[in-house]
Amino acid sequence: MCRDRAPCYMEGSSVYACCNVCLCVLYPCIDCIQEAPVAVLERSVYSARYCFVKNLHKSGVMDDMEHECYCQWFDLVTRQSPPQLDLIVYLRSSPEVCYQRLQERGRKEEKPVTLEYLQALHECYEDWLGNDKHHSWHGNTPVLVIDGNEDCKLNNTLHKKHCSNILSHLGLSETVAA
């Protein structure tokens, strides 16, 4: 099925991602949820579907059939056992700032990432979370948008402000974060 497309590993990777979506939705980490009042995930089944998979399809890495298959599995699993979300935090950063941070980190595995890829992914995130009219897909879970262009590493007060804002949106006190 790879034919002339690159990279060929995408099909196996797509199936693996779909299986992980199923596992995460059907079998959440109950022990983790019971022990901690807040679980923060860098990505979710939704960001995979509405950003990464959408971008793979738009860029031609994932063909129409693969995309449809993934979306049907996603819809089936998330309808069967929808994840319970209290808040989505969108760290909105410009693609240029993200690219600069990638360059500064200098990780070998991030070297192939281009500014164009980050721009396309940013567009997917904006379509998904940057516009109130698109929020019906997740049961109207509130979305808190935080300016990710600001550097929290250099400003501890800003980091604390963001943590406080997130906890406030969840109806939790700051003592939970301690």
Query: Same domain for 63 and 106?
Result: no
Query: Same domain for 110 and 70?
Result: no
Q: Is the pLDDT of residue 107 over 50?
A: yes
- Copy the structure tokens of residue 34: 């019971």
pTM of structure: 0.77
Q: Domain residues for 58?
A: 1-84
- The verdict on whether 110 is a catalytic residue reads no
Place 115 in a pLDDT band, splitting at 50, 70 and 90: very high
Query: Same domain for 13 and 59?
Result: yes
CB 68 within 8 A of CB 122: no
To 10 degrees, what angle do helices 64-80 and 10-26 make?
A: 10
- Give 5-36 pLDDT, tens digit per residue: 444 444 555 566 656 656 665 565 555 555 66
For 91, the 3-state DSSP assignment is: strand
Q: Is the pLDDT of residue 167 over 60?
A: yes
- Can you give the pLDDT at residue 77? 82
Place 114 in a pLDDT band, splitting at 50, 70 and 90: very high
Phi-psi region of 120 (alpha: psi -120 to 50; beta: other; left: phi over 0): alpha
Query: Same domain for 63 and 13?
Result: yes
Query: Same domain for 99 and 178?
Result: yes
Per-residue DSSP letter, 129: H
**Catalytic entry in 35, 42, 104, 109:** 42
Q: What is the CATH number for 91? A: 3.40.50.300
Question: How would DSSP label each residue in 29-53?
Answer: -HHHHHH-S----SS-HHHIIIIII
Q: Is the pLDDT of residue 94 over 90?
A: yes
Please give the tally of structural domains in the chain: 2
CB pairs under 8 A, 24+ apart, for 23-26?
Answer: 24/83, 25/77, 25/78, 25/80, 25/81, 25/82, 25/83, 26/77, 26/80, 26/81
- Give 30-58 pLDDT, tens digit per residue: 555 556 666 777 778 888 888 999 999 99
Which of the two residues, 13 and 65, has the higher pLDDT score?
65
Single residue among 21, 54, 84 that ends a domain in this structure: 84
- Can you give the pLDDT at residue 174? 63
